[in-house]
Amino acid sequence: MPRLMPEQPTFTTDSEREVWERLRDGLGDDDVLIAGLRLTDVDKDHEADLVVLMPDFGVLVIEVKGSSVWFDDGGWWQQRGGKARSIDPVTQVRTTKYAVRDYVARDPRWQRANHVSWGHMLALPYSEVADDFDAPDCPRWAVLDRHDQVDLAERLRAMAPRTWQGKPPPTAEQVEVIAEILHGRPSGTAYDVNAESDERAAAADRLTQEQATILGVTRLLNRVEVRGGAGSGKTVLALQQAKQLSHGGHGKPRQRVALLCYSLGLAAYLKRVTESWHRKDRPAFVGTFHDFGRQWGAPEGDRQDSSFWEQELPRTMGELAEGLADKDRYDAIIVDEAQDFADDWWRPVLKALRDEEQGGLYVYSDENQRIFARFGRPPVQLVPLVLDHNLRNTRQIHESFGPLAPSRMYARGGDGPAVRFIAASTEDAVEVADDAVLELLDAGWRPEHVALLTTGQRHPVQVERTEHRDQDGYWQSFWDGDDVFYGHVLGCKGLERRAVVLCLNESTVRDRARERLYVGMSRATDQLVVVGDPAFVRQYGGVEVAKRLGVG
């Protein structure tokens, strides 16, 4: 049997299928039979019904015409649907032959296309052609009528030398090269996880922008709390609201806006986004709660000193805010990831408003991402708005952490790869997680789309980068396009990566392990790999999460 390209072709007519089957059963092991070869060049689209490659015999392009076909003074005719149609099969097959030959000749793998014979023939499996038939552009030997079908392959071998026209037939090696060229270059394209991820990201962006219509509800409200689980698009909405309030419009004047959060990573992201906006759209302030106070002269302090953060700093900031000039105050303040703010933090926030009683306060929160012991609520009445659709995570990831979410949410992020769980002891978790990152890179994920997040001690790479670049430089590495990001779940709220390896490496389990698990699992938008002790997952994630992760 010859090599078949493709092995199981689809035919538009029974006549093509029958001729192909006869050649399939009659050609030799060294021959190649190609069906339905389509080519496009600058002149037109071409389709060769059949191409036969026979070492030492020739390359033949065959045009198959079914039904009744005949030739008279008016040229070639074919009966179709009870009507005679004028056709020109000889010009058709000859033009296709040259298109195939030229395609091979242009390929750098072939340098001698014009030195090998290329022929063409007509196959008329249902029609009879007289033995003395002859046309200037189509001798009788170039037509395979119904009488030639019995031993079609042998007929081709017998007639092939007549197509040589002084050029040699291809050798076996040359047939291999021609077949390889006509097969295309599959190595030039391949399945790409990044392309699939790009499409899901575009869909998520569209859904998030559609959801931004909810901000229209807030135009007449000055005190609003937007609640939503991971993946609901809270940060995107917070940014959009900051832009709208800063720009004004819809009967509203431009406002002096502050956009706040707690974590350095999220603050770096908010700054990165807002700096790309037109200056009229940018908030007057973007940064952390600490940065908010430092612009008034608040002390630096130690991020590890809880008494400084939760008592001394907010007290000092409140005193400084009371002395602010009107031009330094704000018309509206937006707080993202507000569940990270302690009770005492809200006092300086409110005092920074021009109108402490009626000034705009817009809060975005997810109580189940409350991974710090502190938790406070603004001492003012807020109108609640609830986001109950997960737009960012794939359905598989959403379902894996769904039981940890604050309320029932609906997955709209599309389908993606299955979530993986890799069992490892706490001591070995980091090493196993490193191997999982390498597997993601080998699978085609680009480094800038991959993150390794720990729940216990920081990864050694994170420690090294923080010491080498300081905190600001470290967080800039989140957007580096040439390396994997290494971080901790405590610093990555509000941020996401397409592929995340979550390393459960807590040697001593602290409070809010369940919340850290929820945050870590929801940072991946497309591919999630969880590495850790199955007992940890069962204890802090619960039976349902363990079941969805496939933890035995």
User: What is the tens place of the pLDDT at every residue in 176-203?
Assistant: 999 999 987 655 556 788 888 888 888 8
Cα(438)–Cα(239) distance, integer angstroms: 34
pLDDT at 248: 87
- CB 332 within 8 Å of CB 359: yes
Residues sharing a CB contact under 8 Å with residue 119, sequence separation 6 or more, in sequence order: 58, 59, 60, 61, 97, 142, 160, 162, 163, 164
Average pLDDT on 508-514 reads: 79
Say how many CA atoms lie within 13 Å of 281 toward its Cβ.
Answer: 12
Cα Rg for the chain, rounded, in angstroms? 35
Q: Is the pLDDT of residue 522 over 60?
A: yes
Picking from 118, 122, 124, the residue whose alpha carbon sits closest to that of residue 139 is: 122
Q: Among 102-111, 287-296, 448-457, whose mean pLDDT is lowest?
A: 102-111
Average pLDDT on 233-243 reads: 92
Work out the pLDDT band at 252, boundaries 50, 70, 90: confident
| Domain range list for the chain | 3-183, 221-387, 410-549
- 3-183 sits in which CATH class? alpha beta
Picking from 142, 137, 125, the residue whose alpha carbon sits closest to that of residue 68 is: 125
Cα(34)–Cα(407) distance, integer angstroms: 58
Cα(520)–Cα(523) distance, integer angstroms: 6
Q: Is the pLDDT of residue 548 over 80?
A: yes
Q: Is the pLDDT of residue 394 over 80?
A: yes
pLDDT tens-digit readout, 126-148: 999 999 999 999 999 999 999 99
- In eight-state DSSP terms, residue 296 is T
Beta strand pairing call for 138-139 and 134-135? antiparallel
pLDDT at 490: 86
* End-to-end CA gap in the chain: 50
Q: Is the pLDDT of residue 439 over 90?
A: yes
pLDDT at 57: 95
Q: Is the pLDDT of residue 374 over 60?
A: no
- In eight-state DSSP terms, residue 171 is P
Cα(525)–Cα(521) distance, integer angstroms: 9
pLDDT at 204: 81
pLDDT at 538: 93
pLDDT at 196: 84
Angle between helices 264-274 and 234-247 (to 10 degrees): 50
Burial of 281 (0-12, 13-18, 19+ CB in 10 A): middle
More confident residue, 186 or 33: 33
Q: Is the pLDDT of residue 363 over 60?
A: yes
Tokens standing for residue 541: 């994630």
Q: Is the pLDDT of residue 221 over 70?
A: yes
Does 6 sit behind a cis peptide bond, omega within 30 degrees of 0 on the bond before it?
A: yes
pTM for the whole structure = 0.69
Question: Can you give the length of the chain in residues?
Answer: 552
pLDDT at 259: 97
pLDDT at 80: 86
3-state secondary structure of 226: strand
Q: Looking at domain 221-387, which CATH architecture does it have?
A: 3-Layer(aba) Sandwich (3.40)
Average pLDDT on 217-240 reads: 88
pLDDT at 410: 86
If one counts every other C-beta atom within 10 angstroms of the C-beta of residue 544, the result is 12
Region 410-549: CATH code: 3.40.50.300
Q: Which helix (H) or strand (E) holds 225?
A: strand 223-228
Q: Does this chain's domain 3-183 share its CATH topology with 221-387? A: no
- CB 35 within 8 Å of CB 2: no
pLDDT at 188: 57
Q: Is the pLDDT of residue 249 over 60?
A: yes
Work out the pLDDT band at 153, boundaries 50, 70, 90: very high
Picking from 522, 511, 549, 518, the residue whose alpha carbon sits closest to that of residue 533 is: 549
Average pLDDT on 12-41 reads: 94
Instruction: Give backbone dihedrals phi and psi of 503, rounded to 5 degrees, phi first.
Output: -100, 110
Share of the chain above pLDDT 70, in %: 96
Q: Is the pLDDT of residue 357 over 70?
A: yes
Q: Is the pLDDT of residue 245 over 80?
A: yes
pLDDT at 376: 67
pLDDT at 130: 93
pLDDT tens-digit readout, 102-118: 999 988 888 765 589 99
Beta bridge partners of 4: 33
